[in-house]
């Protein structure tokens, strides 16, 4: 696997070439054991050759299973442990691993290649298959180093990305470049290629406890285990800290783990400029004060508030897209997150903990549990929970209706015609900036049929597979690679730990409504550890509060970029340029409706983000200003 090099100059790269396969590896020093890591590794009496990217978060369990003890075992690199597991159990060893990893294992004796990714897809792995020749790499750029690999964008994937519909997990935004999906392996032998699952969500065991408090105690225990494992670092540890439950829980538990080691934790909070007025009575626009309350509970936390930048910097999209090999999906949130990541890197952190997937695991609202009660005929339980939820605020009521309806729709057969009408309404709103000619055969329906990849059996989970589906189609793995390569920072999310996810997905849906409160499970689990301002809070935190002010400050640059998109044949054929100009004119307009907010934040911003990526990929770096200058000549 050939990622870009890390910032630690002490790494050692390696290549093994044979008659049937070649494996290459470039070192990034992330973990203490990485300093002695040397790859590619040989094992199995010289028969096996392996490269390993990532980490194993259950090292102690694996070493015990292998019967390895002593100082040599304690300092063994994670990749070497993985290789020893393969020697002991073959491909079945994949089921032993918990962590974020991608690997390639070649068995010279059997002429068989194995590629694999971790259960939830936290590390990337892509490949190109042409006849009986397979090329693979960490990110597509590694494949493009070979001139035999086609270098072209996939128009359907690009259109989906333009409306923030993620590309399916087995595809990329490039033609003929495939991604190995999460929890999967690829095996190639004698010219035959098989892709299958080593982990599936329907293997998650249901959990039922006698006491409500047992669910909360179990959650806190498994989350603390995940946090402790993910604080292992060759350098310092930092965390992203908002006023919300997820990041506060991760930060608080990390502070406890690091205090036991006499280490400090740098916690970073993004906030608008001081004096920014509130945006909505049910939203917390500045969470720095609440975050400070959490930080103050732990003497080893150093709290840093990062104020949002005054203008939207379009070049940031370019840097991320160039490093991650795809444009970011949530473009408006990237400026403040990038500021935090770079501040942490400058202060010497090697790890940035966050909780991006918390609402899919530890802090699910629990509203889908009401749908489960309806479908199972548990009307007394429904009435009891409904009475407890009588004090929901307006935003929570909207979530209740939306999530309950979604859960019912997932569990009941919906007529195809109705499903198409629902999908068309969503697409018509989302695809307002796309030209009709840019859509695949079948128009909007064709774009919808380019469906997300799904794990088989996900619909058997208690929530109908809604939460696990988000893991199947995410771009965080590529974003993680970008920050490792650009500033030596490893992004880690303990709420996406396999053990945490399996615990949460195995619970009955109503467990998350403990005490009759949305997100009741995590509230009970963190009671006493976090301040009441976090545990009892029912308002949501607002992100990128000054987004419209930032767009206004960058309005001239936005207009120039729209001109550049019009001048590039690839992007002019994709986007409705006149629609983008109309939206740009509304940046400083009086319309503050929700529809206009979505049009500017999503439609316009994502078009600029994806358009710049496509334009630069095609080699068209010409700006509207350069066009005007040439016209004047």
Token digits of residue 468: 């696990």
Task: In whole angstroms, give the CA distance from residue 589 to residue 586.
Answer: 5
- 528 φ, ψ (degrees, to nearest 5): 90, -30
> pLDDT tens, 116-164?
999 999 999 999 998 879 999 999 999 999 999 999 998 888 888 887 7
Q: What is the pLDDT of residue 64?
A: 95
Long-range contacts of 87-96 (CB under 8 A, 24+ apart): 87/43, 87/44, 87/48, 91/185, 91/187, 91/198, 94/185, 94/198, 94/199, 95/198, 95/199, 96/58, 96/61, 96/62, 96/65
For domain 13-203, give the fold. 3.60.20
Long-range contacts of 270-274 (CB under 8 A, 24+ apart): 270/240, 270/242, 270/306, 270/308, 270/336, 270/337, 270/339, 270/340, 270/543, 271/305, 271/306, 271/307, 271/308, 272/307, 272/308, 272/545, 272/546, 273/307, 273/308, 273/310, 273/546, 274/307
Rg (CA), the chain: 25
Q: What is the pLDDT of residue 28?
A: 83
Residues 6+ apart with CB under 8 A from 438: 155, 159, 573, 574, 575
For domain 212-362+470-541, give the fold. Rossmann fold (3.40.50)
Show the low-confidence residues of the chain (pLDDT under 70): 1-12, 281-282, 369, 372, 375, 382, 384-397, 399-432, 440-452, 462-464, 473-474, 620-633
CA 562 to chain centre: 29
- 134 φ, ψ (degrees, to nearest 5): -115, 125
Q: What is the pLDDT of residue 629?
A: 35
Q: Cβ of 135: how many Cβ atoms within 10 Å?
A: 17
Residues 6+ apart with CB under 8 A from 106: 18, 20, 21, 23, 48, 49, 50, 112, 113, 114
**Ligand-binding site membership of 78 (annotated):** yes
* Range(s) within the chain of domains with CATH label 3.60.20.10: 13-203
Q: What is the pLDDT of residue 446?
A: 65
Query: In which region does residue 465 sit, left (phi positive, over 0), alpha (psi from -120 to 50) or beta (all else)?
Result: left
Residues 6+ apart with CB under 8 A from 313: 335, 554
- 253 φ, ψ (degrees, to nearest 5): -65, -40
DSSP 443-497: HHHHHHHSPPP--TTGGGSTTTTHHHHHHHT--HHHHHHHHHHHHS-EEE-GGG-
Q: What is the pLDDT of residue 4?
A: 32
* Range(s) within the chain of domains with CATH label 3.40.50.620: 212-362+470-541
Task: In whole angstroms, give the CA distance from residue 483 to residue 488.
Answer: 6
Helix residue ranges per DSSP H, 44-186: 59-66, 70-74, 78-89, 140-144, 155-162
Task: Find the angle CA(5)-CA(611)-CA(546) to the nearest 5 degrees.
Answer: 85
- The three-state secondary structure class of 43 is strand
- The three-state secondary structure class of 347 is coil
pTM: 0.89
Token digits of residue 192: 């035959």
Task: In whole angstroms, give the CA distance from residue 414 to residue 361.
Answer: 27
């Amino acid at each position: 696997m050939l990622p870009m090099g890390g910032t630690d100059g002490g790494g050692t790269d390696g290549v093994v070439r044979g008659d049937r396969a070649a494996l290459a590896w470039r070192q990034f020093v992330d973990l203490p054991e990485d300093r002695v890591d040397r790859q590619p590794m040989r094992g199995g009496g010289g028969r096996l050759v392996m490269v390993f990217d990532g980490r194993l978060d259950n090292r102690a369990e694996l070493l015990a299973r292998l019967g390895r003890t002593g100082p040599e075992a304690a300092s063994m690199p994670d990749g070497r442990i993985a290789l020893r597991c393969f020697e002991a159990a073959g491909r079945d060893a994949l089921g032993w691993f918990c962590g974020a990893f991608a690997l390639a294992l070649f068995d010279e004796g059997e002429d068989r290649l194995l590629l694999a990714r971790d259960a939830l897809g936290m590390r990337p792995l892509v490949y190109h298959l042409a006849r009986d020749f397979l090329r693979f790499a960490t990110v597509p750029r590694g494949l493009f180093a070979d001139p035999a690999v086609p270098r072209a964008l996939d128009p359907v994937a690009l259109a989906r990305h333009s409306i923030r519909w993620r590309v399916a997990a087995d595809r990329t935004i490039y033609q003929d470049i495939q991604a190995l999906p999460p929890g999967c392996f690829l095996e190639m032998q004698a010219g035959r290629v098989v892709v299958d699952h080593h982990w599936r969500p329907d293997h998650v065991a249901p959990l039922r406890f006698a006491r409500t408090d047992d669910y909360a105690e179990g959650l806190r225990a498994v989350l603390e285990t995940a946090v402790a494992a993910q604080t292992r670092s060759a350098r310092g540890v930092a965390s992203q800290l908002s006023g919300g439950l997820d990041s506060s829980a991760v930060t608080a538990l990390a502070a406890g783990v690091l205090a036991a080691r006499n280490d400090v934790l740098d916690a970073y909070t993004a906030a608008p400029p001081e004096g920014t007025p509130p945006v909505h009575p049910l939203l917390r626009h500045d969470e720095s004060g609440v975050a400070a309350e959490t930080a103050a509970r732990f003497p080893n936390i150093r709290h840093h508030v990062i104020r949002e930048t005054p203008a939207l910097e379009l070049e940031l999209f370019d840097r991320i897209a160039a490093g991650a090999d795809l444009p970011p999906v949530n473009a408006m949130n990237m400026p403040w997150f990038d500021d935090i990541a770079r501040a942490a890197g400058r202060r010497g952190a090697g790890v940035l903990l966050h909780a991006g997937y918390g609402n899919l695991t530890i802090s699910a609202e629990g509203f889908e549990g009401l749908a489960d009660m309806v479908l199972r005929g548990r009307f007394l339980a429904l009435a009891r929970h409904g009475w407890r939820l009588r004090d929901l605020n307006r935003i929570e009521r909207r979530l209740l209706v939306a999530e309950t309806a979604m859960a019912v729709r997932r569990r009941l057969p919906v007529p195809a015609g109705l499903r198409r009408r629902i999908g068309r309404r969503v697409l018509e709103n989302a695809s307002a900036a796309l030209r009709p000619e840019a859509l695949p055969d079948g128009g909007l329906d064709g774009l919808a049929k380019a469906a997300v990849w799904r794990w088989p059996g996900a619909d058997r989970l208690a929530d109908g597979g809604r939460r696990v589906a988000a893991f199947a189609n995410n771009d965080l793995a590529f974003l993680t690679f970008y920050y490792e390569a650009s500033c030596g920072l490893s992004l880690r999310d303990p709420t996406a730990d396999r053990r945490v996810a399996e615990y949460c997905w195995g619970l009955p849906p109503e467990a998350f409504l403990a005490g009759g409160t949305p997100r009741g499970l995590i509230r009970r689990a963190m009671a006493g550890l976090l301040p009441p301002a976090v545990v009892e809070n029912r308002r949501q935190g607002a992100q990128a509060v000054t987004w419209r002010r930032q767009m206004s400050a960058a309005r001239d640059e936005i207009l120039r970029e729209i001109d550049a998109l019009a001048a590039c044949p690839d992007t002019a054929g994709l986007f409705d340029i006149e629609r983008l100009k109309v939206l740009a004119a509304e940046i400083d307009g009086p319309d503050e409706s929700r529809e206009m907010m979505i049009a500017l934040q999503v439609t316009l911003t994502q078009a600029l983000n994806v358009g710049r990526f496509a334009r630069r990929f095609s080699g068209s770096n010409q700006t509207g200003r350069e066009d005007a200058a040439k016209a004047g000549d």
